[in-house]
Amino acid sequence: MVREVRREEAEIFLKKAEEFYQSALENYQKGRYSACVFDASQVVILANDAFCIAILGRRASKDHREAIQMHVQAAGSKESRKEIVTEALDRRSEFGYTEKSAGEKEANLFLIKSKRFIEWVRQRI
């Protein structure tokens, strides 16, 4: 179920995303690659919440499909980053809740993607 949120709160979610980015970066530097990917996926989820709040005044509940749908709705006819939101949700589950472990290359790539996503959101809100 979608939650109504005051648009001014978008910045709070973006700051949280940046905090998780710092955690992801530290985990990467310390060789904790699965934790890095998990934190980097949280970066994308929180930044997406900020994006949806700023544009729509709403954010998704715990339903991952809502987060993707709301992202597309917030992007409107402009360019969307639906694929990174989908990837973040998948990777969070894959490396946070299964036996699978991330490698250095995979962690590095997703860390870069999460940073670019924050920057993309910041330009639009």
Q: Where are the domains of the chain?
A: 3-124
Q: Is the pLDDT of residue 93 over 90?
A: no
CB atoms within 10 A of CB 97: 9
The pTM for the full model equals 0.90
Q: What is the pLDDT of residue 77?
A: 73
Closest CA to 73 of 92, 53, 45: 53
In tens, the pLDDT along 17-65 reads: 999 999 999 999 999 999 999 999 999 999 999 999 999 999 888 777 8
DSSP string, 19-72: HHHHHHHHHHHTT-HHHHHHHHHHHHHHHHHHHHHHHHSEE--S-HHHHHHHHH
Averaged pLDDT for residues 1-8: 75
Cβ(38)–Cβ(96) below 8 Å: yes
Which of residues 16 and 95 earns the better pLDDT score?
16
10 Å CB burial of residue 75 (0-12, 13-18, 19+) is: middle
Q: Is the pLDDT of residue 96 over 90?
A: no
The CATH class given to the 3-124 domain equals mainly alpha
